[in-house]
Amino acid sequence: KNLVIAIDGYSSCGKSTLAKALAKKLGFIYIDSGAMYRAVTLYFIRNKVDVKNPEAVTDALQHIELNFHSRDYQSHITLNGEEVSEEIRQMPVSEYVSEVSANKQVRKEMVRQQQRMGKSKNIVMDGRDIGTTVFEDAQVKFFMTADPKIRAERRYKELQSKGDTLTTLEEVFENLAHRDYADTTREESPLTRAEDAIVLDNTELTETEQLDFALNMVHQ
């Protein structure tokens, strides 16, 4: 049977960094489930899809095709054939993604596609509901946390390195707090720790220390 490693946790607490490192080390496929919700959100923004209108959402979902391409273990996502990996990280998408991802129709379709991707391959998938909903029987589950201030600083630096000189640290902090609140309080599969998930607080851990810790757990 193929292996699934699920990594859940709050926004910007290092899930994707650890997930990529694990995938590279183990030769697994890395899937960023957040990128899928972000790409759907980008489509909704561009096409002015009203997330509160069920018919509009059904129609939009039928016109969205998402695909992952990996290059050097960096995951790239395409939306209807267009590379959108950079655009989906920018603030307009970050500000709207929690509302779009709280939509039941959107979640149902994303979960279906995610389950299909993990059906026969060894994967590491990160997100909010991977260990609780998408792969309840994943062999290894992690739940990551980190100090909110440190998380905001990391995300702020990442945005700056991508050329975003307008967004302030304060705005990043607010956005993370808003998404954490929305993600943990939504009706449909809210973010919670799966009972069998291993908690990993990386506030004071280097990337190497996190990888070593996670590999140890995987090999147990």
> Candidates 78-86, 124-132, 197-205, 211-219 — which segment interacts with ligand C5P by CB under 6 A?
124-132
Considering only residues 6, 42, 79, 97, which one is a binding residue for ligand C5P as defined by CB under 6 A? Answer: 97
Which residues does 151 contact at the CB level (< 8 Å), separation at least 6?
10, 11, 12, 13, 176
Give least dist CB 102 to ligand C5P, A.
Answer: 7
3-state secondary structure of 92: helix
Q: Which stretch binds ligand C5P (CB under 6 A): 55-63, 127-135, 144-152, 202-210?
A: 127-135
20 binds ligand C5P (CB under 6 A): no
Binders of ligand C5P among residues 146 to 205 (CB under 6 A) are: 179, 183
The pair of structure tokens assigned to 95 is 């500000």
| Least separation in angstroms between CB 220 and ligand C5P | 25
Residue closer to ligand C5P (CB basis): 173 or 216: 173
Residue with smaller CB distance to ligand C5P, 22 or 27: 22
Radius of gyration of the chain (CA): 17
70 contacts 63 by C-beta, under 8 angstroms: no
Asked whether 136 and 42 are in contact (CB, 8 A), the reply is: no
- Cα angle 197, 198, 200 (rounded to 5 degrees) comes to 130
Q: Which is nearer to ligand C5P, 162 or 212 (CB)?
A: 162
Q: Least Å distance between CB 16 and ligand C5P?
A: 7
* Cβ atoms 178, 41 nearer than 8 A: no
Supply the minimum distance, in Å, between the C-beta of residue 11 and ligand C5P. 4
Helices (H), 118-206: 148-161, 169-185
115 token code pair: 């389950």
Nearer to ligand C5P, 109 or 183 (CB): 183
List of residues 6+ apart from 45 with CB closer than 8 A:
92, 93, 96
Examine residue 103 and tell whether it contacts ligand C5P (CB under 6 A): no
Interface residues with ligand C5P (CB under 6 A) are 11, 33-34, 37-38, 97-98, 101, 127-130, 179, 183
